[in-house]
Amino acid sequence: MESKLSGESYLRKYSTATVKVVKEEVLSPSTYGGRHLVTMLPGVGSGPRLMEYVKDIFKAAYVPVDFEVIEVKSENHQEKDDRMMVSSLLRNRVGIKGHIPSLADTSSNVTLRSHLDLFVYLVHCKSYPNVRCKYPNLDIFLFRQNTEGEYAMLEHELKYGVVESLKIITRKNTERFARWALEFIKREKRKRMTIVHKANIMKLSDGLFLKTVMNVAKQYPEVKVDHLIVDNCCMQIVSKPETFDVLIMPNLYGNVITNILCGLVGGPGLISGQNYGESMAVFEVASRLTSYEDESIANPIGMLNAAINMLYYLKKNSHAELIRNAIRKTLVLERIHTPDIGGNNTSDEMVESIKKQIERDFIESALPIF
């Protein structure tokens, strides 16, 4: 899809922060000597440990990627850290991130998406054979509008004890979001898209979202389109998820339903999240609601899957497939599982198994060694 961005920038005044949304001409991800430079934001919690696993796996697979690591700590997080993160991502055009600690008055994760205009959030919830889960044959794509809705952070206190929060839906942003999603659905040969909304109550905001997505979908007659009210959708997902193919929805509903789907396929440690803009992408785990605080048993698969998504974005498909197959062999054939998915293995044991699988398969892959 061609970009209509002109290099301009503009300011949006939030109740608690002024966010500069940077718009630039479409650029390719940075490469140096045939190697890609990627922004890495380890964040807090288990993020730094998971990022070390990503580096270990990439080293084992001889992936031609180098990382520009930007450290942000909870105890001394300042606005200049956010500016540094945005500057690095604008320079490299692609990144992988953990959970970024929030400033006192705003969410740095939400602000990052707004700064970089990452308007699409994509999650692929697909269950693994031989991994404990509620539904063993789940395969659903979820599209979440990533910069508007309740996450616009437009709220203020009218007077003591009375707070007003605005939900922003625009036709322009909804149209480009819907078109991005439908192009993906067409490319992936998926057949059915369900629009999730609450237009029966929020007739103007969700009504505009529903009407706009339906109008864009008319240009894609090969895709069957229906719609569901969000509360009914949640009930249907947990009772008969096999009836869904692709879900598309505004921001807040997407956050809630993503976590429901993660729970159905085995937990938050398995699934990755993908943030896309017109000319850049940032990859992360789909849910931060990890089941265990002990970092030694934190499931690394979600972050490794985020790294695989990143390699596909960089058109390093062979390296992505090599790592993806190694993960599948570890989970499905070797059945090496961390406690969150019913096993008793540590994170280190799981990663070591993946590395051994990569080493076995690398010789047959004919991939170059950089």
Q: Is the dihedral of CA 14, 24, 84, 54 positive or negative?
A: positive
Q: How high is the pLDDT of residue 265?
A: 94
Q: How high is the pLDDT of residue 100?
A: 83
Distances (CA, A) of 268 to 28, 105, 247: 31, 27, 19
Concatenating the DSSP letter of every residue in 56-76 gives HHHHHTT--EEEEE----STT
Q: How high is the pLDDT of residue 15?
A: 27
Domains and CATH numbers, the chain: 27-122+268-370 (3.40.718.10), 134-264 (3.40.718.10)
Q: How high is the pLDDT of residue 74?
A: 63
CA dihedral 267, 44, 281, 338 (to 10 degrees): -30
d(CA 57, CA 326): 10
Q: How high is the pLDDT of residue 305?
A: 97
| Digitized pLDDT (tens) for each residue of the chain, 370 residues in all | 333 333 333 223 222 233 344 444 446 677 777 899 999 999 888 899 999 999 999 999 999 999 999 988 766 666 777 788 889 999 999 999 998 876 545 677 788 888 899 999 999 999 999 999 989 889 999 999 999 998 877 888 999 999 999 999 999 999 999 999 999 999 999 999 999 999 999 999 999 999 999 999 999 999 999 999 999 999 999 999 999 999 999 999 999 999 999 999 998 899 999 999 998 999 999 987 665 567 889 999 999 999 999 999 999 999 999 999 999 999 999 999 999 999 999 999 999 999 999 999 987 776 776 6
Q: How high is the pLDDT of residue 290?
A: 63
CB contact at 8 A, 315 and 300 = no
Q: How high is the pLDDT of residue 287?
A: 87
Q: How high is the pLDDT of residue 73?
A: 72
d(CA 241, CA 138): 7
Q: Which amino acid is at 227?
A: H
Q: How high is the pLDDT of residue 195?
A: 98
Q: How high is the pLDDT of residue 114?
A: 86
